[in-house]
Chain A
Amino acid sequence: MTSVDVKDLRYQYHDGLEALRGINLSIEKDERVCIAGPNGAGKSTLLHCLAGLLKGNGQVSVANAELKNLDSSIFGLVFQNPDDQLFCPTLGDDIAFGPRNQKLAKDVVAERVRESLALVGLEGFEYRHPHHLSIGEKKRAAIAAVMACKPKILALDEPWANLDARASRSVTDILKNFDGTVIVISQDLYYAAAVCKRMVVMDGGMVIADGDMKKLLAQEKVLEYFVAVDDDGCPLCHSRTRI
């Protein structure tokens, strides 16, 4: 069963920059996919098109329905900067924001808040203010806020960016345990490989490689995108990536 189906998707920004140039992509239900590539490749734009925030030319089907309106119970997107995501004065209110918009009963909302915070290891944080949290806690809280809507597809933009090893492991565990389709944009291939089996490599608004993550990373041509090379031509490890 297809979870996401994209056919010939194109998107051009107001300044004329063509961010997506004919993307074709199909993601199966419960599949875990890492979208990687250099800066400016169009990864975030693609995610925003999948979420319905941007309307491109082409066909985008999410959960077997053509994308028309935003639906938090189908597609959940976690932004790179958690401060953009946590906009309520207290964490409890923030987590409850989505379920309340879904018009759920008060006790169901309370249960969702408790459950989501427990899933990300932030039990008892309902009354905490977002500006009192560490970056790792904010990141987990942002994931909890989206997970409270119980989306079928969870998409995350750079979930491991700026996190220390412990916080990164924590986010990895949350994603591993998520019951549904996961789409991750990341440069941290070490953690992405722990979550995703499949990798889609983008560059210049196009998909240039798509397949098994480990096999792709064994290809020299793909490796060039992620691994720096020293003066003698020996590959240097990119960030925490181990290949």
Chain B
Amino acid sequence: MRSQRKIRHEYSVSALADLSLDVRSRILITLLFIISIVTTAPYQLLMFLIYAGLISWGAALARISLVTVFGRALIVLPFSLVVALGVPFFTGGETVVFFGLELSIAGLWTLAGVVMKSFLSASTLVLLITVTPINLLMQGLRGLGVPVLLIDLLNLTYRYLFVMLEEAMTLRQAAIARGYRPKWLPQAVIVGRLAGTLFLRSFYRAENIYAAMRLRGYKQVMPSDALPKYEWTSIMMVVLFVFMLISIRLYLGCLK
């Protein structure tokens, strides 16, 4: 029989999961770290470098490659760029001409801030998710008072996201196998039909899942083992982390 440790490593749940830091503390530290990131002014570049360093340090402790952490976080960039790309064109104040385009300096700082903050926040979340098994993460959220219904929705979404993706791929392949080669916009109608089919399948699957849950005694609340007592040492870790962040920001004059 394989040891739990080996199984965890096999499934990307790193050695950090074996450390004793309570999952509630991990979530709180992540949350506070993200709050610190988003409240840092965009021009305080040194602070952003320190944040990146702290994330790298966490990844090194967890024995996860930086490519994994920062690489996965890149997925947020298109979204943040879409949101903030227009800002340099519409913000007033001093301007700079770049390739014939007149861009606001303040707007450029805002754009850089949005990109850096979203990227670092996503990296922090990737680190948390990679080092914490999903069931433990949900238990931690429950322990911190997040509504049970929301946690159940997260659980089911996580579980069935892959199933739905597989079904969507199967539908797409079935369409391609029957000669579907979209070239013109009207041909995209079939995508809507596939989405409708996927929705109906999801609906029927949801009915079956609910039936399976009822058969095993489900009464509107997912049962879960209670978390162990929140130890003082774990609470102190959060306090120490907050203290460290505030100290760094005070030292660098970033706390305004």
Binding site for B on A (CB under 8 A): 48, 51-53, 70, 72, 75-77, 79, 81, 83-90, 92-93, 96-98, 100-102, 106, 109, 123-132, 145-146, 149
Contacts and interface: CB of A to CB of B under 8 A. Distances in A.
A124 B4 contact: yes
A128 B138 contact: no
B229 interface: no
- Which 5 pairs from chain A and chain B are nearest by CB? A101-B217, A100-B223, A98-B216, A84-B208, A131-B162
B215 A53 contact: yes
Contact of B135 (A90, A131, A145): A90
B224 interface: yes
B7 A93 contact: no
Contacts, number: 101
B159 A89 contact: yes
Interface residues of B, number: 36
B212 interface: yes
A140 to B, nearest CB: 16
Contacts of A76: 215
A89 B216 contact: no
Nearest to A127: B7
B156 to A, nearest CB: 6
A85 B163 CA distance: 13
21 contacts: A53-B214, A70-B214, A77-B212, A81-B208, A84-B205, A84-B208, A85-B212, A87-B160, A89-B138, A90-B133, A92-B135, A93-B135, A97-B223, A106-B225, A123-B1, A124-B3, A125-B7, A126-B4, A131-B162, A131-B163, A146-B215
A63 B59 CA distance: 56
Nearest to B163: A83
A175 B236 CA distance: 52
A128 B11 contact: yes
B2 interface: yes
Contacts of B133: 90, 127
A125 B4 CA distance: 9
Contacts of A88: 135, 155, 159, 222
Interface string B1-13: 1111001100101
Given A89-B159, A102-B217, A127-B8, 17 more contacts: A70-B215, A81-B208, A83-B163, A84-B212, A87-B209, A88-B135, A90-B134, A97-B213, A100-B225, A106-B225, A124-B1, A124-B4, A126-B4, A131-B159, A131-B163, A146-B215, A149-B217
Contacts of A93: 135, 224
B132 to A, nearest CB: 12
Contacts of A79: 208, 211-212
A126 B215 CA distance: 21
Contacts of B156: 87
A127 B11 contact: yes
Contacts of B211: 48, 53, 79, 84
Q: Which of B133, B156, B211 has the most CB of A within 10 A?
A: B211
